[in-house]
Structure 1
Amino acid sequence: MKLAFIFPGQGSQSVGMAKELVEEYPKYQKYLDVAEEALGYSISNLMFNGPIEELTKTYHAQPALLLSSTIAASLLMENGIEPDYVAGHSLGEYSALVMAGTLSVKDGAAVVNKRGKFMNEAVPAGEGAMAAILGLDAEKLKPVTDAVTEQGHSVQIANLNCPGQIVISGTAEGVDKASALAKEAGAKRAIPLTVSGPFHSSLMRPAAAKLGVELTLVSMHPPKMPVVANVTALPVGDVRTIRQLLIDQVSSPVRWEDSVRQMIELGVDTFIECGPGNVLSGLVRKIDRSVTVHSVFDPASLEKTVQALKGETI
């Protein structure tokens, strides 16, 4: 058996995230304590008690998800379940890097908080948008987004999630026009997403530049296991490349389907989504139904997953 830990991105946050895990395993309060020392506010209070409107703000959601995900993954590793590969969707790539030993919990929480602020500042509220395009492949969708961009309304493919599900991102007008044209080109649906900005589009380049400065100040170590990067969908092992890919990632598409297929090609047959929700679990199943998928987000799901894997892993 080959195993991959996968880590969710923004949108998976929920009030109460990691609360039961920390109550059941109080030593993991230390993750929250060191993060709060870096952040200067109580992220655990937001995670455990909300309100959801505050937790969903990108600069709060990003460290909250990183902490929830790394606590869940650390508990798996404490139970002898070690990944052969790690990968995360957008923000989740930072959770993967923490679990690979490249970033500390403290530095990871601090840098994604700043990443969230930079992304929030890059485009004024209401000027950017994202939409999920269902039932149209990238080869047919890209000419649509290119045509709209050439008309002066910037829009790009942002997330290649799974067969039949691609997210576009750009100006509000660009996304609106591209959504209408995508349906004319054969898309089944175009669903506007409730997001605070046009993530993974060229409009995020100002955020990428600011993040680049921050990343030069953060200590990084070579990963203990391969990290499959969003930008290339390939395993990466050296720190210089990791830094550059994290900068590129802010304004580049998340190649999630390709990342999952790459891990399967490398022999991965079991995926564990670490953190709240099960969005990535659903995407993996749509990409390849032959693999085994688990999700760990509370004590019950942790125990169930450990029991399911223990015979083969320990």
Structure 2
Amino acid sequence: MRKVAFIFPGQGSQYVGMGKDFYEAFPESKQVFEEANECLKMNIRDICFQGRDEELIRTENTQPAILATSIAMMKALEKEGIDCEFTAGLSLGEYTALVKSEGVGFRDALWLVRVRGKLMQEAVPEGIGGMAAILGLSREKMLMAIEKVKDHNIVEVANYNSPEQIVISGEKEGIQLACQEAIKLGAKKAVPLPVSAPFHSSLLKPAGERLKEELDKVKLWDLNKNLVSNVDGKPVTCKEEIKEKLVNQVSSSVLWQDSIEFMMKEGVNTFIEIGPGKTLTSFVKRIGKSIDKPVETFNVNSIETLKKTIDSFGKEVTN
């Protein structure tokens, strides 16, 4: 029997044209984009469908654009009777998971992630910070590499994505030195990421504090799904926890691997990645393999992948 988790992507998964096929095919999806336009007083729909790359990759645009696209795709899936017991999202994707869990309203989530994007962008002057993906190095060795360079530079782990990938964040010079140390310790690759700020590092603590002020203005609710938090890889149990975890998430490591392992140990055997891209699916497969847990994975990022997912659920779907 399937035990299902919906998982949602974060920043970096965006591309021009995302969600357009859903907008044209499903009234429920169309309504999501129309509501986003109205709520944000901007044409987020056109930014997603036909905007310029440089417009879409501005953090304050990217975050609400991905959230709206993911929710629009999810609405089409839910229409077919497919639901989940657990949910989680990578960084920004945690807000989409929170909407799915009914812990926050869609309109409030849109407004929050737009503000969050601006605060994260403004927290560190451009050119000061950076990030890099380290491939094929254990957590222990990655922390050893950071230890060697941390006296002169801020370098921290931003994401534990899978057994094969760790992302580091901090000051640019420190990132370069940590990459060199990681290669010396056996990393297969160290890839600088094209980002505008050192996300999920202590350099963004001021952004988290300012986000707290914005969260105080928003109504939060107890969740109706098991939402697994980026901050500790454990379920959020009540609405009082939501605010603290979202504030900490801005400057804390994203424990994605831990979150997926927790769900697998709770019996989740089917993961549906909903939203642009398919990176999370590849992480899930690697994590499952590393702890010897067989899993099924699906993507819902196009009409074609939506149909494949619906077909595979077959008679289990109740219309």
With normalisation by structure 1, the TM-score equals: 0.97
2:180 maps to 180
| Equivalent-residue separation in structure 1 for 2:172 and 2:254 (angstroms) | 20
Aligned mate of 2:311, from 292, 299, 307: 307
| Equivalent-residue separation in structure 2 for 1:81 and 1:139 (angstroms) | 39
**Residue type of the alignment partner of 2:17:** G
Matches within 5 A, 1:54-65: 54-65=55-66
- 2:104 is the counterpart of 1:103: yes
**Aligned residue pairs: how many?**
313
| Equivalent-residue separation in structure 2 for 1:160 and 1:85 (angstroms) | 20
**Kept after mapping to 1: 8 A contact 2:158/2:253:** yes
1:30 maps to 31
Matches within 5 A, 1:99-138: 99-138=100-139
Alignment partner of 1:236: what SS? coil
Matches within 5 A, 1:219-234: 219-234=219-234
| Equivalent-residue separation in structure 1 for 2:317 and 2:22 (angstroms) | 22
| Equivalent-residue separation in structure 2 for 1:11 and 1:235 (angstroms) | 25
Alignment partner of 2:179: what SS? helix
**Kept after mapping to 1: 8 A contact 2:132/2:192:** yes
Structure 1 residue 143, shift from structure 2 partner: 2.7
Matches within 5 A, 1:189-200: 189-200=189-200
Question: Stretches of 4+ moved more than 4 A in 1?
Answer: none
**Residue type of the alignment partner of 1:291:** V
**Residue type of the alignment partner of 1:196:** S
| Equivalent-residue separation in structure 2 for 1:188 and 1:105 (angstroms) | 41
| Equivalent-residue separation in structure 1 for 2:116 and 2:239 (angstroms) | 18
| Equivalent-residue separation in structure 2 for 1:66 and 1:5 (angstroms) | 14
| Equivalent-residue separation in structure 1 for 2:209 and 2:45 (angstroms) | 29
**Kept after mapping to 1: 8 A contact 2:33/2:72:** no
| Equivalent-residue separation in structure 2 for 1:39 and 1:170 (angstroms) | 31
Structure 1 residue 237, shift from structure 2 partner: 2.4
CA-to-partner distance for each residue in 1:271-301, whole Å, 9 max, x for gaps? 0000111010111111114200000012221
Matches within 5 A, 1:111-260: 111-149=112-150, 151-260=151-260
- 2:295 is the counterpart of 1:294: no
**Runs (5+) with no aligned partner, structure 2:** none
**Kept after mapping to 1: 8 A contact 2:14/2:276:** yes
Structure 1 residue 118, shift from structure 2 partner: 0.3
Structure 1 residue 60, shift from structure 2 partner: 0.7
| Equivalent-residue separation in structure 2 for 1:74 and 1:279 (angstroms) | 21
**Kept after mapping to 1: 8 A contact 2:274/2:299:** yes
Alignment partner of 2:276: what SS? coil
**Kept after mapping to 2: 8 A contact 1:8/1:273:** yes
Alignment partner of 2:132: what SS? strand
| Equivalent-residue separation in structure 2 for 1:221 and 1:31 (angstroms) | 21
Alignment partner of 2:137: what SS? coil
Alignment partner of 2:114: what SS? helix
**Residue type of the alignment partner of 1:224:** N
| Equivalent-residue separation in structure 2 for 1:310 and 1:266 (angstroms) | 24
Alignment partner of 1:198: what SS? coil
Alignment partner of 2:225: what SS? coil
Structure 1 residue 45, shift from structure 2 partner: 0.6
| Equivalent-residue separation in structure 2 for 1:284 and 1:191 (angstroms) | 21
**Residue type of the alignment partner of 1:302:** L
Question: Which stretch of structure 1 is more off in the superposition, 260-269 or 75-84?
Answer: 75-84
- 2:72 is the counterpart of 1:71: yes
**Residue type of the alignment partner of 2:310:** V
Alignment partner of 2:34: what SS? helix
Matches within 5 A, 1:266-285: 266-285=266-285
Structure 1 residue 313, shift from structure 2 partner: 4.3
Structure 1 residue 30, shift from structure 2 partner: 2.2
Structure 1 residue 40, shift from structure 2 partner: 1.8
Structure 1 residue 312, shift from structure 2 partner: 3.1
With normalisation by structure 2, the TM-score equals: 0.96
| Equivalent-residue separation in structure 1 for 2:148 and 2:246 (angstroms) | 28
Matches within 5 A, 1:5-20: 5-20=6-21
**Residue type of the alignment partner of 1:65:** I
**Runs (5+) with no aligned partner, structure 1:** none
Structure 1 residue 159, shift from structure 2 partner: 0.4
